[in-house]
Structure formats: C-alpha cells, structure tokens
C-alpha cells in the first residue's frame, strides 16, 4: 500500500495548493481540473470533484503597496535669499515676455490695418469706400440749391449794385455766396460755402458727384485783415493747428481758389476772386467783409458824387 499512500499524499498536496491559491486570489475564478489518480480504484471520484473549486484571481488592494511621497512636498520655497531672488527674476522675465508678445501682436495688427486702408484708398471698393466717406462727411448738409442759376446770378448782382449805391451793406446768404463762387471758379458744382461767426467754411468734393467726399477748409480773418486757414480736414474731424499752418502754404497747389484767398493782400481783395467785378457798378468798390451765421456782409465804398448810376 506504499504506492497508495504516495498517491494519497500527492492528492493532498494538490488540494492544499488549490486552497492556498484560492485564499490568495478569491475574486478570479479559474477551473483547475484534477484527474483521479490512475490505478487507484479505491480513491473516490467524489473527492476529485470536490477539488474542482472555483479559482478566483483578485489583485491585492492598492493600500497594501503604499507609494512613498517625496520628503520636500508642500514645504514651500524656503527662506533662502537665492531662491527668492531667482523666483523674482523668473517672474519679471515672464512679465517682460508677456509685454513683448502683446506689443508685437498690436504692431502686427496696426500694420495690417494700415495696409488694408492703403489698399482701400488705392482701389476704392464701394463696399468699404462708401461707408468710410459717410463716416468722414459726418452728415454734411449743403445750402439750399438755387433754381435757374443764371437768372438768380443776374438778380444777385442787381441787388448788390442797388444796395451798395444806396450806401447800405449787402447781405449775401450761403446759397448766394455758393452761387458766386461756383460761377467764378473752376470748381463748378463740386464745392459750396457755409459761413459762421467770423469764419467761412469751404467744402470741396475730392471724390465724385454721386457719393462725394467733402474736404473742409475753415478760413478766418486774422489781425492783419487777411484770410488765413484755421482748420482743414473732413466733417468728422479736423487736422491739428500745426498741420493747418502747413496747409496755408501748400493747399493752394491743389485748390487754386483757396490759394487766391490766402495769398490776397486783404479780405476785400480775396472776395474779388469770388465776385465778378465786371458786373459791379463802376462807382462802387468793396472795402470790407464780415462773416456771420449763414451769411456775409459786404461793405462797399460809393464813389459817385453828383448822380447815382444804377447801371451794371
């Protein structure tokens, strides 16, 4: 029976091994078939079936394998002067880089915007150009248009002659002043005039008649009784005073009429560029002009002595 005892010990060893594995990994089921010992008719197959226990594998809990933590965690930077200085300069360098990147981005945006504006000014696509003109004009309104300009111009000179020969100042409103300027200059219907207290505003279309872009030049009478440019720009904004001073010398290269105004010896000489002196009575002479809101006052010198001549 020595062989039977050896087989029994072998079977017991297998059973003990399976029990140990089941205790170590209770969650994973694995079938481990165990065959009945061959040649041993006295061994019960029921015992072999009992050895068919589920084999469960379950990893050990995480807390059974603790992870070691660094010793210096959450201990701060310390009070070392070197560490504080290093942190300061790192933060300062980061701030400088942020400013540099912001400035570079802003510069690129400005360059692209400038190039876009230049392209719009060169090619003038209506989709972009017309809104820009509307913005610059800032709701500019023209004086009331005069029907039948030739007849209105004839009546205006008749009024000037009769009033001046009566030793009365002549009042000329903005519409009449615009009519005089358009008739006696090359600007035709591309310009108009509006007056205010001590100032006269010239509006000149520098684009096209369908959608005009009005360039505005404000002139005043200086202490030397001469006309000078005070402001130049558009309806939305004016140029600085320093630019207006430069425009006094250069604007005439573009607009001959304004050049004649600012280079005249006096206001009366300047207005003789507006008025057709050949239509005036030979006995009257313009010697002074005043600007008011919506009209100008023309003062004439009456040179007639013995009789008044109403011809013109």
Cβ(206)–Cβ(195) under 8 Å?
no
What pLDDT, on the 0 to 100 scale, is given for residue 21? 60
Strand order in the sheet with 214-221: 191-196, 199-205, 214-221, 227-234
pLDDT > 90 in the chain, percent: 23
pLDDT at 23: 57
The proportion of the chain whose per-residue pLDDT surpasses 70, expressed as a percent, equals: 64
Q: What is the mean pLDDT of residues 211-224?
A: 87
Instruction: Categorize the per-residue pLDDT at 253 as very low, low, confident or very high, splitting at 50, 70 and 90.
Output: very low
Higher pLDDT, 215 or 15: 215
pLDDT of amino acid 206: 82
The predicted pLDDT at position 17 comes to 65
pLDDT at residue 122 tops 80: yes
Residue with tokens 């070691």: 68
- What tens digit of pLDDT does each residue of 261-306 get? 777 788 888 888 788 888 999 999 998 899 999 999 999 998 875 4
Residues in CB range of 196: below 8 A, 6 or more apart: 291, 292, 293
Whether residue 155 is predicted with pLDDT greater than 70 in this model: the reply is yes
Closest CA to 232 of 241, 220, 223, 221: 241
Annotate the chain with DSSP letters as a single string.
-HHHHHHHHHHHHHHHHHHHHHHH--SS------PPPTT-TTS-HHHHHHT-------PPPGGGSPPPPPTTTT--S-S-HHHHHHHHHHHHHHHHHHHHHHHHHHHHHHHHHHHHHHHHHHH--HHHHHHHHHHHHTS--PPPPPSSHHHHHHHHHHHHHHHHHTT-PEEEEHHHHHHHHHHHSTTGGGEEEEEETTEEEEEEESS-SSS--EEEEEEEE-TTS-EEEEEEEESS-B--HHHHHHHHHHGGGT-HHHHHHHHSSSHHHHHTTTS-GGGS-TTEEEEEEEEETTEEEEEEEE---SS-----
Which of 26-40, 114-128, 200-214, 285-299 tops mean pLDDT?
285-299
Share the mean pLDDT of the chain: 76
Tokens of 40: 């041993």
230/37: higher pLDDT: 230
Confidence of residue 70 (pLDDT cuts 50, 70, 90): low
């Amino acid at each position: 029976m020595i062989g039977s005892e050896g087989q029994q010990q072998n079977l017991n060893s297998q059973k003990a091994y399976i029990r140990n594995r089941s205790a170590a990994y209770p969650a994973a089921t694995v079938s481990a078939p165990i065959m009945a010992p061959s040649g041993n008719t006295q061994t019960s197959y029921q015992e072999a079936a009992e050895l068919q226990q589920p084999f469960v594998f379950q990893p050990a809990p995480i807390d059974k394998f603790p992870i070691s933590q660094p010793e210096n965690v959450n201990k701060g930077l310390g009070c070392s002067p070197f560490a504080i200085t290093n942190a300061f300069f790192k933060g300062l360098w980061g701030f400088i880089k942020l400013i540099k990147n912001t400035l570079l981005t802003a510069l690129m945006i400005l360059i692209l915007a400038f190039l876009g504006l230049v392209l719009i000014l060169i090619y003038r696509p209506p989709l972009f150009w017309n809104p820009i003109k509307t913005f610059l004009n800032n709701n500019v309104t023209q004086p009331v248009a005069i029907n039948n300009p030739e007849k209105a111009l004839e009546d205006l000179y008749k009024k000037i002659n009769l009033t001046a020969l009566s030793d009365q100042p002549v009042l000329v409103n903005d519409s009449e002043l615009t009519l005089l300027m358009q008739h006696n200059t090359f600007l035709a219907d591309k310009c108009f005039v509006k007056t205010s207290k001590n100032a006269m505003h010239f509006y000149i279309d520098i684009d096209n008649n369908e959608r005009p872009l009005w360039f505005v030049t404000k002139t005043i009478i200086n202490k030397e009784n001469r006309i000078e440019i005070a402001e130049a720009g558009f309806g939305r904004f004016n140029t600085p005073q320093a630019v207006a001073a430069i425009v006094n010398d250069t604007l005439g290269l573009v607009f001959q009429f304004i050049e004649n105004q600012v280079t005249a010896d006096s206001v009366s000489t300047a207005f003789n560029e507006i008025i057709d002196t050949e239509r005036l009575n030979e006995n009257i002479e313009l010697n002074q002009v005043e600007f008011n809101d919506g009209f100008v006052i023309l003062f004439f010198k009456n040179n007639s002595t013995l009789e008044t001549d109403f011809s013109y």
